[in-house]
Structure 1
Amino acid sequence: MEFFPGAGTAPWVLVLLALAGAVIGGLTGRVLATGGYRIESDQAADLPRHWWWPAVLLAGLWVLMGWRIGDYAGWSALPAFLFFAWLAVALVWIDADVHRLPDGLVLPAYPALLVLVLVGTVGLGDWGALVRALACGAAMYAVYFVMAFVSPSSLGFGDVKLSGLIGFLVGWIGIYQAFVAVVAAFLVGGLVGLVLLVGRRAGLRSHIAFGPSMLVGAFVGMLVQYHVVA
């Protein structure tokens, strides 16, 4: 399957996506800034004060998804990727704050994303894409599950549950893209860890949230284009 950016995405559509993303991201940041996601077992410091950055990040991600996905499958695929971008922003905030990916966000995202991807599949008219998505989601979940079982200090079960979502959505684009998402996640995670160590913001035994790196890897995988040359 060859996948191309949405060449039919008009500039005014990208502007609307940026504005909508900024509004929704700002509202999301306001809600997250209340700390309602925190539980008693969380060992967290003061609440993040900069509620505005989710607005900037989500606006950028929605423009990126509008350009990358665009009118693919008659625009029916875009909502799934916009939803995932919103979820990513919320999870980055929470995981960076309390080093936890809450089930209250991740688990309901499974049926929500399944419905949205199903709509995109109907619009695409290629049921093989849905089968591939399910297979990639299951495979990525299994890989992360094994790694978390072998080294629970490195990966949490929240990361495992998030991996299934990433594999499912990125796998809908292509197997190669899902593979890139996994590799990119560990490269980004390694780079972040190195920067924190050099900057003395973390030690060798410090727990560094891996969810943000996984999500960055997912978007890297979405952006990759793979062309088979006969």
Structure 2
Amino acid sequence: MAEAANSIDPGEVAKFEAMAAEWWDPNGKFKPLHMLNPCRLDYITTQIATQFGRDLTSPEPFKGLTLLDIGCGGGLLSEPMARLGATVIGADAAGGNIPVAQLHAQQSGLEIDYRHCAAEDLAQEGAQFDAVLAMEIIEHVADPQGFVNTIESLLKTGGLMICSTLNRNPKSYMMAIFGAERVMRWLPVGTHEWSKFVTPDELYDLARKAGLDPVDRRGMVFNPISWRWSLSDRDLSVNYAIAAVKR
């Protein structure tokens, strides 16, 4: 696919730059991601294992696979991927996140290549990966189609994109913006813009236009009674993820 212009939204980057030091505080501003992370990892590991025929019960099931974590933040996903054996590059446009991620990886004894750059920068270098993660990021970019086009160019043939985001409907506004930002105070007010949320059908369409074949989509549902997230085949009304393969 032809490369798109840089999809970074400077205003969105500034929001996360201001919160960089709190990435590894499970009760800080990124508490929602810490709560969501086991559910995200369940989806990611299952999809990668399925696509590449890996046994998740083996010590390093992703050994030999290259993986890019776009919008890596403090490394909440990069670190478990490295522990599973993948060779990981974590990229983030918010420079303040990188030293936080590097220090935590060093303290954890993990080798992860963290870079302060955009996905487009890696595409210009000709980098390619077996898997690209774009988790909770597409709702923050300036050009969603250009962003997915760039991901396609970063994938090897047969490579896997896993992308999660927020659906756009009245329920997602009440849950993700009014509830999470204004009532529960899990996130600073203004973290999300409802108009930038992407429906599952729209995300499938973005993937297809980029030259990717969608192969799966699942909802990630929060249970206020058990206070836990779980995957759902049916409920994609708020948080959800898709997997798509490069043709």
Do both proteins adopt the same fold according to a TM-score greater than 0.5, normalized to the shorter chain?
no
- TM-score, length-scaled by structure 1: 0.32
Q: Which has the larger radius of gyration?
A: 1
More helix by share: 1
More strand by share: 2
